[in-house]
């Protein structure tokens, strides 16, 4: 994706972080022992900071992050959001929820809508089962408008990344890209032509094997990357995506004025919060139909000691440092970490409040009003909790004149509200204090 983004976003992140007093983390700067987990967005905490996206390289120790659930082959359709849990609820049980969400996902006519209301940072769904090589496809219609980015990517905890990204000002292009451990390389992006990504359904696929990545549109291959072409002699390794990754579906505002110039330029300009889609629906939206995840067997020579979870055995975080274990993946509360998964376990109802308050301060990444799209190589939104879960359940979605009902949306939204009420209150207090 984009020039300058990483530094610019990091600066944004740092600015907010100073204000909210959350420790930050990046390669060479590990998290402290009391907030040991380095989130996808480069901030330290406990609880959800230690789940999906937790970066073992910059966390306090290699086992600060919670083991990640192994790959599961499955097809998803969206008559309801039963497979989706908000990040204010998810504690690592991928058997109970295939996806974790931030922002406001809705359903419409059997499809998934990722929404982005004015002044929010959009919506993200991440798969809770990671993929360590596999064939992943998504049938989707992108959002549109300058500054609006729709994404379907694979992102590992150490920021190996394989992307399909769609810029709302150019509906004739799907951008393919990849990163190795979050290192920016301006030459990795390749465009693929496609017809009207907003109005037309297309199926985008990433076929990720140990030796090749192939991107396809509607069954036609548009790009193949070979591992053998990615040798980095300085780093003495292949700059090739090679670690277990979450599938992420997102809609995010690259064109926020607070984002880096390079990011805004890449996204075609600053977002217009008075656009036709906002006037008509109350939000920008991207529509996902069937999403299909097919896991490949672990690569030959993989360190297989179990069948439940992936862990890293070394901060080099290359393919041969991934171990498949039987280690558990579920925290007892938002106070837990990889080294104390039972922390905060409670026997009574008072536990809810305790974990909610913990959640508000430092146990759910992106909850403290950090703006901008932090994270890895820029593809991933941060979430402003004061925006999430608000009101959207009352917004009727209609497209092309046909009014559709969003089954599951209300209850989902209510759950988000209940789950994050305390978090929202505290976040508001923090914002006011700023
Ligand atoms: C995870 O969820 C499944 C399905 O809801 C449940 O059977 C199982 O007991 C849960 N596991 C843990 C460790 O909470
Ligand atoms: C891909 O297309 C976008 C416009 O959609 C353009 O800004 C960008 O420069 C193109 N990238 C490459 C590598 O051609
Ligand atoms: C090779 O790896 C080093 C260390 O990660 C990185 O700084 C450099 O940008 C990489 N080289 C290329 C050409 O990507
Ligand atoms: C890791 O990648 C190397 C190439 O860099 C390959 O030779 C080796 O078989 C791979 N190991 C695993 C476990 O995937
Ligand atoms: C885990 O955390 C709890 C506090 O919630 C503490 O009482 C317990 O001693 C910790 N266990 C370990 C092994 O650190
Ligand atoms: C979070 O969202 C609220 C409501 O839209 C807004 O007033 C506030 O400025 C946002 N905070 C940040 C840090 O973006
Ligand atoms: C919530 O919806 C009500 C009516 O539908 C509207 O008056 C109010 O402004 C909305 N609040 C927010 C925060 O969008």
Write out pLDDT tens, residues 395-422. 334 333 222 222 222 222 332 322 333 3
Q: What angle do CA 104, 109, 111 make, to 5 degrees?
A: 55
Tell me if residue 161 is catalytic: yes
In whole angstroms, what is the distance from residue 246 CA to residue 249 CA? 10
Q: What mean pLDDT comes out for the span 353-370?
A: 52
Residue 324 in any domain: the answer is: no
Q: What mean pLDDT comes out for the span 227-240?
A: 96
In whole angstroms, what is the distance from residue 236 CA to residue 253 CA? 36
Give the whole-number percent of the chain exceeding pLDDT 90. 73
Helices within 293-381 (DSSP H only): 350-358
Q: Helix (H, G, I), strand (E, B), or coil: what is residue 131?
A: strand
Poorest-pLDDT segment among 139-143, 283-287, 304-308, 356-360: 356-360
CB of 386 sitting under 6 A from ligand 6: yes
The alpha carbon of 309 and the centre of ligand 3 are apart by a number of angstroms equal to: 30
**CA of 190, closest atom in ligand 2:** 13
Q: Residues 374, 182: contact at Cβ < 8 Å?
A: no
Residue 40 in any domain: the answer is: no
Q: Where does the pLDDT of residue 363 fall: very low under 50, low under 70, confident under 90, or very high at 90 and above?
A: confident
Q: How many residues does the chain have?
A: 434
Q: Where does the pLDDT of residue 347 fall: very low under 50, low under 70, confident under 90, or very high at 90 and above?
A: low
Q: Residues 282, 113: contact at Cβ < 8 Å?
A: no
Q: Residues 224, 117: contact at Cβ < 8 Å?
A: no
Which pLDDT belongs to residue 345?
84
Q: What mean pLDDT comes out for the span 44-63?
A: 97
Q: Determine how many CB atoms are found less than 10 A away from the CB of residue 48.
A: 30
Residue 214 in any domain: the answer is: yes
Q: Residues 37, 138: contact at Cβ < 8 Å?
A: no
**CA of 167, closest atom in ligand 2:** 5
Q: Residues 433, 104: contact at Cβ < 8 Å?
A: no
Residue 123 in any domain: the answer is: yes
Q: Residues 377, 184: contact at Cβ < 8 Å?
A: yes
In whole angstroms, what is the distance from residue 390 CA to residue 413 CA? 8
Q: Where does the pLDDT of residue 366 fall: very low under 50, low under 70, confident under 90, or very high at 90 and above?
A: low
CB of 345 sitting under 6 A from ligand 1: no
Q: Where does the pLDDT of residue 134 fall: very low under 50, low under 70, confident under 90, or very high at 90 and above?
A: very high
Instruction: Give the residues surrounding ligand 5 with Cβ less than 6 Å away.
Output: 335, 340, 343-344
Ligand 2: residue whose CA is nearest its atom 11 = 191
Which pLDDT belongs to residue 245?
98
CB of 369 sitting under 6 A from ligand 6: yes
Rounded to a whole number of angstroms, the CA Rg of the chain reads 20
Question: Given ligand 1 and candidates 51, 69, 95, which is best to mutate, with the most ligand atoms within 8 Å of its CB?
Answer: 95
In angstroms, what CA-CA distances link 3 with 264, 358, 414?
Answer: 10, 36, 39
What does the block give as tokens for 321?
């440092």
Which pLDDT belongs to residue 90?
97
Ligand 7: residue whose CA is nearest its atom 8 = 391
Poorest-pLDDT segment among 122-126, 259-263, 376-380: 376-380
Q: What mean pLDDT comes out for the span 375-396?
A: 32
CATH of the domain at 79: 2.60.120.200
pLDDT tops 60 at residue 51? yes
Residue 50 in any domain: the answer is: no
- The count of domains in the chain is 1
Q: Residues 56, 157: contact at Cβ < 8 Å?
A: yes
Cβ-Cβ contacts under 8 Å for 179 (sequence gap 6 or more): 159, 160, 161, 185, 188, 241, 376, 377
Cβ-Cβ contacts under 8 Å for 133 (sequence gap 6 or more): 208, 209, 210, 295, 296, 298, 299
Torsions phi, psi for 230 (to 5 deg): -115, 15
pLDDT tops 70 at residue 350? no
pLDDT tops 80 at residue 5? no
**CA of 390, closest atom in ligand 7:** 13
Which pLDDT belongs to residue 212?
98
Residue 336 in any domain: the answer is: no
pLDDT (tens digit per residue) in 9-48: 433 433 343 345 679 999 999 999 999 999 999 999 999 9
In whole angstroms, what is the distance from residue 255 CA to residue 240 CA? 29
**CA of 302, closest atom in ligand 4:** 13
In whole angstroms, what is the distance from residue 93 CA to residue 100 CA? 10
CB of 181 sitting under 6 A from ligand 6: no
Torsions phi, psi for 49 (to 5 deg): -60, -25
262 versus 392: the higher-pLDDT residue is: 262
pLDDT tops 90 at residue 373? no
* Cα of 13 vs its chain's centroid, Å: 16
In angstroms, what CA-CA distances link 272 with 52, 256, 325?
Answer: 32, 9, 47
In whole angstroms, what is the distance from residue 35 CA to residue 91 CA? 17
Residue 35 in any domain: the answer is: no
Q: Residues 206, 221: contact at Cβ < 8 Å?
A: no
Poorest-pLDDT segment among 88-102, 328-342, 358-372: 358-372
State which residues form the domain around 217: 70-305+344-434
pLDDT (tens digit per residue) in 252-288: 999 999 999 999 999 999 999 999 999 999 999 999 9
Which pLDDT belongs to residue 425?
31
The alpha carbon of 394 and the centre of ligand 7 are apart by a number of angstroms equal to: 8
* Cα of 390 vs its chain's centroid, Å: 20
The alpha carbon of 192 and the centre of ligand 2 are apart by a number of angstroms equal to: 9
Which pLDDT belongs to residue 184?
85
Q: Where does the pLDDT of residue 355 fall: very low under 50, low under 70, confident under 90, or very high at 90 and above?
A: very low
Taking phi first (over 0 means left), then psi (-120 to 50 degrees means alpha), and beta for anything else, what does residue 366 get?
left
Tell me if residue 165 is catalytic: yes
pLDDT tops 60 at residue 392? no
Residue 1 in any domain: the answer is: no
Q: What mean pLDDT comes out for the span 354-360?
A: 46
CB of 342 sitting under 6 A from ligand 1: no
In angstroms, what CA-CA distances link 389 with 115, 121, 165, 227, 383?
Answer: 11, 12, 25, 42, 11
In whole angstroms, what is the distance from residue 47 CA to residue 59 CA? 13
Query: Whole-number mean pLDDT of the chain?
Result: 82
Burial of 84: CB neighbours in 10 Å, binned 0-12, 13-18, 19+: buried
Ligand number with the minimum distance to the CA of 36: 5
CB of 238 sitting under 6 A from ligand 4: yes
Question: Given ligand 7 and candidates 281, 391, 409, 414, which is best to mutate, with the most ligand atoms within 8 Å of its CB?
Answer: 391
**CA of 328, closest atom in ligand 1:** 13
Ligand 2: residue whose CA is nearest its atom 14 = 191
């Amino acid at each position: 994706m984009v020039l300058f983004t990483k530094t610019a976003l990091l600066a944004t992140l740092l600015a907010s972080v100073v204000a909210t007093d959350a420790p930050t983390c990046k390669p060479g700067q590990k998290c402290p022992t009391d907030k040991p987990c380095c989130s996808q967005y480069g901030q330290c905490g406990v609880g959800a900071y230690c789940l999906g996206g937790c970066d073992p390289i910059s966390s306090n120790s290699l086992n600060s992050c919670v083991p990640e659930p192994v790959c599961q082959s499955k097809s998803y359709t969206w008559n309801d959001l039963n497979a989706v849990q908000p990040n204010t609820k998810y504690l690592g049980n991928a058997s109970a929820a295939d996806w974790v969400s931030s922002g406001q996902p809705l359903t419409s006519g059997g499809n998934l809508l990722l929404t982005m209301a004015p002044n929010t940072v959009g919506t993200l769904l991440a798969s809770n089962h990671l993929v360590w090589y596999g064939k992943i496809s998504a049938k989707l219609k992108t959002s549109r408008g300058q500054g609006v980015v729709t994404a379907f990517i694979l992102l590992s905890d150490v920021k190996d990344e394989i992307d399909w990204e769609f810029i709302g000002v150019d509906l004739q292009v799907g951008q393919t890209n990849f990163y190795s451990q979050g290192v920016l390389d301006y030459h990795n992006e390749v465009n693929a032509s496609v017809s009207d990504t907003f109005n037309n359904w297309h199926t985008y696929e990433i076929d990720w094997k140990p030796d090749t990545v192939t991107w396809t549109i509607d069954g036609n291959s548009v790009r193949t990357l070979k591992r053998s072409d990615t040798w980095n002699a300085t780093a003495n390794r292949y700059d090739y995506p090679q670690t277990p990754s979450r599938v992420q579906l997102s809609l995010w505002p690259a064109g926020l004025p607070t984002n880096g110039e390079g990011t805004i330029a890449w996204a075609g300009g600053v977002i217009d919060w008075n656009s036709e889609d906002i006037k008509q629906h109350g939000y920008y939206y991207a529509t996902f139909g069937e999403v299909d995840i097919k896991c490949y067997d672990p690569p030959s020579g993989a360190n297989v000691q179990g069948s439940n979870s992936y862990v890293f055995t070394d901060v080099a975080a290359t393919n041969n440092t991934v171990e498949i274990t039987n280690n558990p993946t579920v925290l007892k509360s938002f106070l837990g970490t990889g080294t104390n998964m039972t922390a905060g376990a409670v026997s009574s109802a008072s536990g809810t409040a305790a974990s909610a308050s913990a959640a508000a301060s430092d146990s759910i990444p992106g909850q403290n009003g950090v703006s901008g799209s932090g994270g890895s190589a820029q593809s991933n939104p941060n979430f402003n909790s004061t925006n999430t879960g608000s009101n959207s359940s009352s917004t009727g979605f209609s497209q092309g004149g046909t009014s559709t009902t969003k089954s599951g949306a209300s209850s989902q939204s209510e759950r988000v509200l209940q789950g994050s009420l305390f978090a929202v209150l505290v976040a508001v207090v923090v914002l006011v204090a700023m």
